[in-house]
Structure 1
């Protein structure tokens, strides 16, 4: 005869399996009225049919704007469209959500080889949307294209992780500039929650501290005109894939020097790819709430960093737009990590110990105006080869002058 304790243990072991089987037999929202169960987002989530899933995605997208109440009715909002999965899903959600603002879709042209392959699908998608759209090719975009060409030829001579960060930060600056030129107060980026969690971990590895959490929020206040919004911050990458499949959406694969280098040598990797593999392994192997936990923790750090930097007029990094802290007290280099970093960089450049990072940067030869970098971006700059630095400084300088409203010669 079994003891009461063994009977209780047996019931607890059988209960989750029975509940799980019932939750997978029919859609949890419509109770199977609208269709058969089609997908399960996480291992502990109930099943949903395709119609309820699409309606849930539309509601989640609209609630992102409703909760913040940041975008006024009738305002012009730029929509950055690259033709990839995230931006294609975001464009379809904008059409289905009947938003109250006026979306202005824009696409930046790439190299001639890429445009020959992807120009027609992207242009047809923009025309079919029925929204105002622009295909832009600014002079600053040409500078960025030339910089990418140099990356293709000398990527093997530099640190591979650096190329990923520089590519992402420069493209973000250029997209913000294009939205400003279109007269928009806000710009929408199609970054989903899975990528934001990866960017958060990558930012911590790169030494961005609390500012790494700014990439995980719906509102990114580092750029005030226009303000960066991420309406897909609550979507997982798996949700976007199923949404595109159910809605029969076609997208193109964006090309960049990093992707081309990985295709040539699959053994190459970056910190971003390692963080992504780490999160995917946890997400789908017994810890389904990993991404949500990281984003929730990052939002608390972001709220703390925004409140602590509010009301201050600190200088900002010309690349990532993060506030640059004041030079630390380096009389004791072991006092903090930032002081130790400045101390090491000063010794490597044979400069006085009390020099800051930007003072070290100003001493480089043949440079009229040295850009201001935060600690993490300065390390990216120092990792570049001598051939890359002039082109990089030129792109950053022009984008900074356009952001501040100064004339660019």
Structure 2
């Protein structure tokens, strides 16, 4: 590469780009202006312990009250995952259900733990299950457990699975029975996400819950949004990353922690003397799948640009789809946009794939060859009308239809 002018560029950069200087924080709380600050958020907002806890609880309740979906005495299934977000969510719920709480929560939560930590051995998974039961019971909640592998192998056994809590050694074999083990990690992650969502809905219906709480935080939502765009699920962004996923007519999936970050919840747990459970994590290659790569991309950007996640979330909130779409994907239940006069990007890709793999008969005219390909394309389009573009790419990796 040409190096002419590099020195001049470096000297110019030093003049125009200022180095990051140490941030001078106020010693007093930005909220009450009286107490000494002990928590710093977003690199500049300093709060005292009392103001931080009050603001965090208000933020949680405000996210629920904004949409006014949950009514008094509604049953809510809460998906518990090991870590700070789930522990914070349990504490939010318990403190909100307290009789002395301001703007008391009036629904009935049920806690669900999904046994899907298959990188752990059987003894570690049994120990984890006992620790989860102990933590949930400390908040005086009812806990239900289910094996992810057993469910996807035979969903009809759901009533039996939520009562037995069996942990077996052949769970990985069960996953291979349902998900092609030769599939790419991107497709495996996508399939597991769809199956896990269906599991939550089925369990919610079994326990007659109208809503499901999931513990995704802001960085999870931002990563999912970019992953959806990369995987061809752009039309599903509003339901996959928004506050409410209402594609099922009976059960709505809500994300009450979507505006929180990990640092905020870690501080909250620390100030409330909560010790979240930890589990041995498997080392992940960030370049092994689209989902892992997007998580690394968003996380790295957030370090140097604290507004990255917020910007992505606000952009996603502005994206919406026509609510009157009647056609939905048979696999993910997401809406399939109506086809207009012009070919969509999905149709163009499918048409190019058909032409590239078609054996041309030069014994007929060009117009006849074009007409034959057009007829085949129309036939294939009719068959795939019930499957969205992204799901059509993972159908071959689902062994059990």
Please say whether Structure 1 and Structure 2 have the same fold, judged by a TM-score greater than 0.5: yes
Distance in 2 (alpha carbons) for counterparts of 1:321 and 1:254:
32
| Shift in alpha-carbon separation, 1:119–1:349, aligned structure 2, 3 A | farther
Report the Cα offset of residue 143 of structure 1.
4.3
In structure 2, the gaps of 5 or more residues are: 1-17, 98-104, 156-167, 359-372
1:180 matched to which residue of 2? Answer: 205
Does 1:128 pair with 2:138?
A: yes
Query: 2:46 is paired with a residue of what secondary structure?
Result: coil
1:31 matched to which residue of 2? Answer: 33
Query: 1:225 is paired with a residue of what secondary structure?
Result: coil
Q: Is the 8 A contact 2:287 2:293 kept in 1?
A: no
Provide Cα deviations, 1:86-106, integer angstroms capped at 9, x if missing partner: 222211111122311111222
1:392-403 equivalent positions in 2, closer than 5 A: 393=401
Q: Is the 8 A contact 1:349 1:360 kept in 2?
A: no
1:70 matched to which residue of 2? Answer: 69
Q: Which has the larger radius of gyration?
A: 2
1:9 matched to which residue of 2? Answer: none
Q: Is the 8 A contact 1:192 1:235 kept in 2?
A: yes
Report the Cα offset of residue 76 of structure 1.
1.1
Q: 4+ residue runs of structure 1 moved beyond 6 angstroms?
A: 144-147, 152-156, 348-351
1:74-93 equivalent positions in 2, closer than 5 A: 74-93=73-92
Report the Cα offset of residue 25 of structure 1.
1.8
Count of aligned pairs? 341
State the TM-score, normalizing by the size of structure 2: 0.75
Query: 2:295 is paired with a residue of what secondary structure?
Result: helix
1:80-119 equivalent positions in 2, closer than 5 A: 80-98=79-97, 99-110=105-116, 113=122, 115-119=125-129
Distance in 2 (alpha carbons) for counterparts of 1:78 and 1:131:
11
Q: Which stretch has the larger CA shift, 186-195 or 276-285?
A: 276-285
Q: Is the 8 A contact 1:151 1:163 kept in 2?
A: no
Report the Cα offset of residue 358 of structure 1.
7.1
| Shift in alpha-carbon separation, 1:183–1:327, aligned structure 2, 3 A | same
Q: Is the 8 A contact 1:346 1:355 kept in 2?
A: no
1:193-342 equivalent positions in 2, closer than 5 A: 193-253=218-278, 260=282, 262=283, 266=285, 269-285=288-304, 287-302=305-320, 305=321, 308=322, 310-314=323-327, 316-326=328-338, 335-342=343-350
Distance in 1 (alpha carbons) for counterparts of 2:175 and 2:352:
28
| Shift in alpha-carbon separation, 1:336–1:248, aligned structure 2, 3 A | same
Distance in 2 (alpha carbons) for counterparts of 1:221 and 1:104:
20
Distance in 2 (alpha carbons) for counterparts of 1:269 and 1:17:
36
Query: 1:223 is paired with a residue of what secondary structure?
Result: coil
Report the Cα offset of residue 347 of structure 1.
5.1
Distance in 2 (alpha carbons) for counterparts of 1:210 and 1:327:
13
Does 1:373 pair with 2:384?
A: no
In structure 1, the gaps of 5 or more residues are: 1-12, 362-371, 394-409
Distance in 2 (alpha carbons) for counterparts of 1:116 and 1:328:
54
Query: 1:292 is paired with a residue of what secondary structure?
Result: helix
